[in-house]
Structure 1
Amino acid sequence: MLQPTDMDWTDPECPVARAADLLGDKWILLIIRDSLDGKRRFSEFEKSLGVAKNILSDRLRLLVDRGVLTRMPNDRGTRSEYQLTRAGLDLFTLVLSLRQWGERNAFGTDERHSILVEPATGDPVPQLRPLDQDGNELGPQETLLIRVSHHPEP
């Protein structure tokens, strides 16, 4: 679990605000996307993103400091590689949700774009949808925000 105790929070009690405070930079999200796609080295991120070295270096450091990536020496001990932590891997659903939102809302009908597929079938990954205990789809009207004084058990 992330332990970012020295941060100034936008809204200290809101999980969405805290996640945005930790991950709300486009370069951070794209580094996480690339990490989920198997990129590990600084040069791979730089080539994929086309971002300035100083910005990439800063964002990688932040992701390591925030417990999303770990920095590991490669098998030859010459350069570092970045690997997703458990918290980093837990971002797959977020990145998939952003990807699917983008597929639906960020492209014109005739624009080419990438899609995520299941390797065994080649079928697009099914749309993410929150469900209630009975398997019915949940929307904002079917949810209620409450404040808790402790972290509820999953």
Structure 2
Amino acid sequence: MKRGELVNSACPIDRSLSEVGDTWTLQILRDALHGVTRFTDFSKHIGLATNVLSARLQKLVAVGIFEIRDSELGNSHEYVLTEKGRDFHTVLAALRQWGQKHLFDDDEPMNRVIDARTGQPPRPMTLIAEDGREMTPDDILVVQSRAADPIESAVPIETPRRRQS
């Protein structure tokens, strides 16, 4: 599947990647979730060429992840996360936890997050089934229906795992 086709895919992962699926965009969203709002601050923190940063910010505005507001300083504007953008924090938290678990040696420095109220790290993220059990990849069945339809009307999608069972 070509990158341009992701936006029309029935797969939510494909559609998500069409909006946020590159390193620079993920870094912009990470910094925005940490409070960065101004172009110059994004540029300083990420070290990204201004033309690339400008293009990424324009796209994030176009897809409704950021909105532009006048700066309180009066001489510029700010990129403020919308509800859609703020909802992305769980995606980044999952990436962070995966990276913490699999990509660092014990003696390496690592940025970590803690709960601002308790000082404790968050619990590891997992998929929890309706009955409370933790789900693994083996527990997942991909189904398809219209977004507005009840899940009971969904039809299973043919996948390699489904063909094995």
- TM-score, normalised relative to structure 1: 0.90
Instruction: Please state whether the residue corresponding to 2:41 is helix, strand or coil.
Output: helix
Deviations 1:33-90 (A, max 9, x none): 0010011111111111011111111111110011100111112321010110111011
- Is 1:131–2:165 an aligned residue pair? no
After TM superposition, the structure 1 = structure 2 runs for residues 46-125 of structure 1, keeping only pairs within 5 Å, are 46-125=43-122
* Alignment deviations for residues 92-135 of structure 1 (CA, whole Å, 9 cap, x no partner): 10000011111011112211101110011111111111101121
1:141/1:36 Cα in 2 relative to 1: closer, same or farther (>3 Å)? same
Report SS of the residue matched to 1:128. coil
How far, CA to CA, are the matches of 1:71 and 1:152 in structure 2?
34
Name the CA distance, whole Å, in 1 between partners of 2:128 and 2:97.
17
Secondary structure at 1:83's aligned position in 2? strand
Q: Which has the higher helix share?
A: 2
* Structure-2-length-normalised TM-score: 0.84
Instruction: Compare CA radii of gyration and give the structure with the larger one.
Output: 2
Indicate the RMSD between aligned Cα atoms, in angstroms: 1.7
Q: How far apart, in 1, do the equivalents of 2:93 and 2:147 lie?
A: 28
The code of the aligned residue for 2:79 comes to: Y
Secondary structure of the corresponding residue to residue 121 of structure 1: coil
1: distance between equivalents of 2:149 and 2:120?
36
Deviation at 1:21, TM superposition (A): 1.3
Q: Would you say 1:8 and 2:7 are equivalent positions?
A: no
Alignment gaps of 5+ in structure 2: 152-165
Q: Distance in 1 between matches of 2:22 and 2:139?
A: 30
Q: What letter corresponds to residue 61 of structure 2 in structure 1? A: V
Secondary structure of the equivalent of 2:143?
coil
Gaps of 5+ in 1: 1-6
Q: Percent identity?
A: 34
Higher relative contact order (CA 8 A, sep 6+): 1
Count of residue pairs brought into register by the alignment: 148
Which letter does structure 2 place at the counterpart of 1:134? D
Which protein is richer in strand relative to its size?
2
